[in-house]
Structure formats: structure tokens, C-alpha cells
């Protein structure tokens, strides 16, 4: 069986920083479901004055717009504000704590797995000696990586606990990624960032990282273009697209801004 190799897009980078939820593990869907349970309960108990704002939390559009890639409290405040609700500390903490309880139950039950294509890419980069970091605003990122068996592939893991200890602002501020690159001892301009969240690709772009790779697992015709608009130079559906087998005469290239893929209609 031929050994896979990494396409030049990443092979030429000095280091790679990966987001965790939705990039390495399929935990983004669990985060979204946990937020929906917490927000819907809060909306029932504290119905907005405007009837239009009483609709349930949408686990796709509301999740991507308000909470994906952001620190937990920032995401809670963003959604509550969008519905005209109280964003004081007590309200934000209440809904965030409810979400945390649901998510932790799923995490400890073993419901979350790693994406096979991402694991293949991580192992190929690690085999090639490319320094790797994981950077996530989630306080559970380290435990997630350990549970799915890939934590040992990363030279640095910057999770939400470390981020809060250092006082790093959340995405789209690039501080989290800049700290991860510093931990690896590599400059941002020679370090790739791999993200699935709009706030994350914007953070990579603002931090001067190159390349910034967006992961569009929704493939709904809108998220891919939105990732590009926020700073992704390359968008893939799965990170296995950045691998090729040596004997393949014409490997399928990653979808880049210079050679855009056809979006689903």
C-alpha cells in the first residue's frame, strides 16, 4: 500500500496550527446541539418581547453566526443580544453553564470521534517532521484530543483553560493562534492555520498566517464562500484532500481561491 504524502500547500509550511472542534474532531455538532438545548430552554423561560425573536435556536445558522469558534461566554452573549435579551453576567453564565452540562455528558460518553481524513493528514505531517499545534477556545480541547488518540501528535496544545489563564482575547482576534505559533517557535507568515469557523479563518488572516485553510463540512453552497470572505485562501470539504498517494498521476487538488470549486446549487 502506497504511503500518502502531503500536497505542497502544507508541505512547504514551517508549522501548522489546527482548530479542534469541527476540524480534528466532530465535536462541533455536539457543541451546536448542546447550545440549542440550553438556548431553547432559556428562550422558553425568558421569552423575548418581540415575537420574531422567540423562534428556537438554529443549530446551523445561529451556531455559525454567534457561537462557533468563540469563547463560551462570548458566544452566549452574542446570541442573547441577537434576540434582544439580557446579556448581563448572570444571564450569560446561566445559559453557558446549562450548555456546559449537556456537552460534558456527551464528551464523557464517548460520542465524539476524530475525522479520519484529519488523522491521516496529522500523521503524515508528523511523519514529515512538521511542527503541529492545536488551538481552541474550548476548555475541553486537550481532553478531546486525548480521548480520540491524537494528542501526542501535537507539539503544543493551547486550549481554553490556558487561553483564559493568559488573558488571550477570543477569535476573531488572532492572539490564540499567535501564541500557538510562538509555542512552536515559528513565525505566523510561515505557519498554516486550519479552521472551520468564520471567526477562526478571520483570526488566521488578521494574524498574518499563511496559508489559511478553511474546512467546509456543511457544503451548503454558502459556508465555503463565507470562509473565503473571512480570510481563507483555500477551502476543502475534508482534510484528506491535502493528501495524495505517490503513484497517483493526477492528484485531486485542494480547492483554492485561485481555482474555486463548483458550489452546490
Structural domains present in the chain: 5-26+113-256 (3.40.50.1000), 29-109 (1.10.150)
19 is catalytic: yes
- In angstroms and rounded to an integer, the radius of gyration of the C-alpha atoms of the chain is 18
Per-residue confidence (pLDDT) for residue 261, from 0 to 100: 35
DSSP letter for 106, please: H
Which residue in the list 21, 74, 159, 216 is annotated as catalytic? Answer: 21
Whether the Cβ atoms of residue 24 and residue 138 lie closer than 8 Å to each other? no
Percent of the chain past pLDDT 70, that is, above it, reads 91
Q: Which of 26, 34, 253, 216 is nearest to 119 (CA)?
A: 26
58 is catalytic: no
- Residue 188, φ and ψ in degrees, nearest 5: -55, -40
208-243 residue pLDDT tens = 999 999 999 988 899 999 999 999 999 999 999 999
- Residue 44, φ and ψ in degrees, nearest 5: -65, -40
pTM over 0.85: no
Banded pLDDT at 3 (limits 50, 70, 90): low
CB neighbours (10 Å) of residue 82? 15
Which residue in the list 14, 19, 62, 219 is annotated as catalytic? Answer: 19
Mean pLDDT value of segment 155-164: 95
Q: How far apart are CA 234 and CA 60, in angstroms?
A: 22
106-131 residue pLDDT tens = 888 888 999 999 999 999 999 999 99
**Secondary structure (3-state) at 60:** coil
Alpha-carbon distances, residue 231 vs 66, 149, 173, 202 (angstroms): 18, 30, 13, 5
Per-residue confidence (pLDDT) for residue 247, from 0 to 100: 42
Reply yes or no on whether the pLDDT at 244 is more than 90.
Answer: no
**Secondary structure (3-state) at 248:** coil
Whether the Cβ atoms of residue 135 and residue 162 lie closer than 8 Å to each other? no
Amino acid at each position: 500500500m502506497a504511503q500518502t504524502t502531503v500536497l505542497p500547500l502544507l508541505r512547504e509550511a514551517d508549522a501548522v496550527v489546527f482548530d479542534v472542534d469541527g476540524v480534528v474532531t466532530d465535536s462541533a455538532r455536539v457543541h451546536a446541539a448542546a447550545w440549542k438545548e440550553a438556548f431553547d430552554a432559556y428562550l422558553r423561560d425568558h421569552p423575548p418581547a418581540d415575537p420574531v425573536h422567540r423562534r428556537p435556536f438554529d443549530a446551523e445558522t445561529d451556531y455559525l453566526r454567534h457561537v462557533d469558534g468563540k469563547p463560551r461566554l462570548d458566544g452566549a452573549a452574542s446570541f442573547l443580544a441577537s434576540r434582544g435579551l439580557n446579556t448581563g453576567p448572570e444571564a450569560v453564565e446561566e445559559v453557558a453553564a446549562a450548555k456546559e452540562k449537556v456537552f460534558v455528558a456527551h464528551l464523557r460518553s464517548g460520542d465524539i470521534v476524530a475525522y479520519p481524513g484529519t488523522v491521516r493528514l496529522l500523521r503524515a505531517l508528523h511523519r514529515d517532521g512538521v511542527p503541529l499545534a492545536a488551538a481552541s477556545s474550548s476548555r475541553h480541547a486537550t481532553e478531546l484530543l486525548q480521548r480520540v488518540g491524537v494528542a501526542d501528535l501535537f507539539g503544543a496544545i493551547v486550549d481554553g483553560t490556558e487561553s483564559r489563564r493568559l488573558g488571550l482575547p477570543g477569535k476573531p482576534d488572532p492572539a490564540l493562534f499567535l501564541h500557538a505559533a510562538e509555542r512552536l517557535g515559528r513565525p505566523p507568515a510561515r505557519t498554516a492555520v486550519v479552521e472551520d469557523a468564520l471567526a477562526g479563518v478571520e483570526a488566521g488572516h488578521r494574524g498574518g498566517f499563511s496559508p489559511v485553510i478553511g474546512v467546509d463540512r456543511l457544503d451548503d453552497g454558502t459556508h465555503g464562500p463565507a470562509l473565503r470572505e473571512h480570510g481563507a485562501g483555500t477551502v476543502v470539504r475534508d482534510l484528506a484532500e491535502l493528501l495524495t498517494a505517490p503513484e497517483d498521476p493526477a492528484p485531486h487538488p485542494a480547492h483554492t481561491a485561485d481555482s474555486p470549486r463548483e458550489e452546490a446549487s
